[in-house]
């Protein structure tokens, strides 16, 4: 935990100048896209937010399986932290996407497979967070949350490959196959690195906070037990 917190603090130092540099790379260094013009520059944040949410939900999958196997609350806290940050990133995907869609397709939203599956992913983890609130204090909560977290994480490959499997308006993924202009590729990599560092820092800090809350609850329960003896 201490080593992860140290790494998170290092990431914090790098994130602020990194965000400024990423903005420069996206809006100044990267060339203007010939077809869509300047609105295409939202790509440098929309796609890293999407990939970042996939990474976070991958952590959810690991933490959820870990909890079901070991029944250790630490795994549950990792999953919860990753869901909160991944949900934030997924929300930003759904907010930035329609801006790009309006310029590219003339509509804010269309019910194609990529957009619909992304919305379903968002709704699953919104349900996860609602479950956390509704069943707060219930001993069954970590088990239910782990099952829902696994179901949500298993939707990630569907979201990613939907553009390949179905006839969709959304462009097929090209960034992982070297399909970008070299300057665009560099700008994308910078933005991806910065937003991944931010993702890591947020998950570690949220996990640390959850662990501190669990320790506090345990200490309060012990004091109450002693007080009744």
- Closest CA relative to residue 187, chosen from 14, 15, 31: 31
Comparing 213 with 2, which gets the higher pLDDT? 213
Which percentage of the chain shows pLDDT scores above 90? 60
Indicate if the pLDDT at residue 91 is higher than 70: yes
Report d(CA 1, CA 213) in Å as an integer: 15
Report d(CA 212, CA 22) in Å as an integer: 33
Identify the DSSP state of 146.
Answer: H
Question: Per-residue pLDDT tens for 140-171?
Answer: 999 999 999 999 999 999 999 887 787 666 66
Question: Per-residue pLDDT tens for 208-220?
Answer: 888 888 778 777 7
Report d(CA 131, CA 227) in Å as an integer: 32
Comparing 96 with 175, which gets the higher pLDDT? 96
Residue count of the chain, please give it: 229
Indicate if the pLDDT at residue 176 is higher than 60: no
Question: Per-residue pLDDT tens for 50-83?
Answer: 999 999 999 999 999 999 999 999 999 999 999 9
- Three-state SS at 57: helix
Report d(CA 12, CA 199) in Å as an integer: 10
């Amino acid at each position: 935990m201490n080593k992860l917190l140290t790494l998170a603090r290092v990431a914090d130092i790098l994130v602020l100048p990194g965000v400024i540099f990423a903005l420069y790379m996206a809006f100044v260094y990267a060339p203007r896209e010939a077809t869509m013009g300047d609105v295409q520059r939202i790509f440098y944040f929309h796609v890293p937010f999407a990939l970042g949410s996939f990474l976070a939900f991958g952590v959810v999958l690991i933490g959820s399986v870990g909890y079901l196997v070991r029944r250790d609350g630490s795994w549950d806290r990792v999953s919860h932290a990753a869901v909160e940050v991944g949900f934030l990133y997924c929300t930003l995907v759904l907010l930035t996407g329609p801006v790009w869609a309006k310029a590219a397709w003339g509509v804010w939203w269309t019910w194609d497979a990529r957009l619909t599956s992304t919305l379903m992913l968002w709704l699953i983890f919104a349900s996860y967070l609602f479950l956390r609130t509704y069943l707060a204090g219930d001993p069954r909560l970590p088990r239910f949350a782990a099952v829902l977290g696994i179901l949500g994480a298993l939707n990630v490959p569907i979201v990613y490959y939907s553009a390949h499997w179905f006839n969709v308006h959304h462009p097929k993924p090209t960034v992982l196959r070297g399909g970008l202009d070299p300057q665009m590729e560099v700008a994308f990599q910078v933005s991806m690195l910065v937003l991944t560092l931010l993702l890591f820092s947020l998950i570690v800090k949220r996990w640390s906070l959850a662990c501190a809350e669990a320790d506090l609850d345990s200490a309060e329960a012990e004091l109450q037990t002693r007080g009744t003896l």
